[in-house]
Amino acid sequence: MIRHSLSDDPLIKSKKKFTLRELGGAFGDWGTLIPFIIGYISIVGLNPAGIFICLGLTNIIIGIKFNLPLPVQPQKTIGTIALSQKWTPSLVISTGFGTGIIWMLLGLTKQLNKIVEKVPIIIVRGIQLGLGLILGWNAIILASENLILALISIVIILILAKYNIIPSAIVLVVLGIIIMLFTEGLNITSFFFTFPKISFYIPNLMDLLYGMIIAGIGQFFLTLTNVMIATIILARDLFPEQSETLNANNLSFNMGIMNIFSPFLGGIPLCHGSGGLAAQYAFGARTGGSMILEGIIEIILGVFFSNTLLQIFGEFPASIFGSMLLYTAFLLVRVSFKNFNKKSFLLILTTALICFVVSISVGFLIGLILYIVFKNKLK
């Protein structure tokens, strides 16, 4: 019944890729994207030009290839750990490069569909909850700089999330810019066209190994489920007539390629995600046109406004950033309780707490061991 109603959607049948609804959908996933970008620029110190240009090129290529609103998102495990531990640019891009190699090789093996079926979803829920706790704690620290501003930002997020008027991230970025103008943290003369100074990076082997151990392992299994399972299932539900377009193997190869090449220009570790797909669909995206439009906007920002972006994000009010991260953390926590089961809650919570106190990788390994030991009791 659901599949029938979705396939009858005139927007799905339409061949028009560049409409106002597609443009609206292009901003749908920015609520999750922008907080991580701000963090990567202001905390890690990555060049905004490289981030936005790589994002834009990737979105345009994917939009043309799949003709679906399949946006790229930050790899949340790596992003969360990188921001909370204040990683260096080399550590971030090297870890992203490492994940790219793994996903490309897995895609080439054509065996990923079989692997996906064997990953226990309970452990993934624990990692998601642990990520939410880590991100939430760091969000509270940032928000505490100005609690009133943080509270106002949260109210804006909740109101706009309820009525789906405009992505709250855009409103909060504008609010932050206005505040910076009034507090002289930003000068109106800063808004000018300028060509970017591109920073080139070479992945470092030691940074790659360290990053993969600290965050890459946990990211691998989170991506394996959130992308290879959740995204594919959601895409097939929303676009049943294109059910054969996506599978775990081609998504894996796709993620591998984009993470192998983008780090050299300072691009952040990227993946696909069911949340981004759902967000763009909710705001009107039905074709790859939304991806192409988003990519064009990102390239324009990176090419002509990179210096402005660097100043904006470098002086951006921490309390607004904290409120945005807090909402992202809330979404992660909410997803972790999807299909809640009382029998599995203790294992999910244990995995999450170990992720929060120790690390994502240790939390995953211990959670997996406990799952194997108590598997029969969880049914």
Per DSSP, the chain holds a count of helices (H) and strands (E) of: 21, 2
Q: What is the pLDDT of residue 51?
A: 93
pLDDT, tens digit (0-9, with 9 covering 90-100), for 110-156: 888 777 777 788 888 888 888 888 888 888 998 898 999 999 999 99
Question: From residue 165, how far is each of 18, 30, 72, 87, 161 by CA, in Å?
Answer: 20, 14, 22, 35, 8
Contact 233, 214 (CB under 8 A): no
**Mean pLDDT of all residues in 274-285:** 76
Q: Is the per-residue pLDDT at 107 higher than 80?
A: yes
Average pLDDT over residues 163-192: 75
More confident residue, 87 or 196: 87
Look at residue 191 in the predicted model and tell me its pLDDT: 62
> How much is the pLDDT for 333?
83
Q: pLDDT at residue 186 above 70?
A: no
The mean pLDDT value of the chain amounts to 83
pTM equals: 0.74
Kindly tell me if the per-residue pLDDT of 188 is higher than 70: no
CA–CA gap between residue 202 and residue 82 (Å, rounded)? 18
CA 201 – CA 191 distance, rounded (Å): 27
CA dihedral 29, 200, 301, 100 (to 10 degrees): -20
pLDDT grade for 237, boundaries at 50, 70 and 90: confident
Q: What is the pLDDT of residues 335-353, one digit of tens each?
A: 778 777 777 888 989 999 9
Where is average pLDDT lowest: 15-24, 43-52, 102-111?
15-24
Instruction: Using the predicted structure, report yes or no on whether residue 24 has a pLDDT greater than 70.
Output: yes
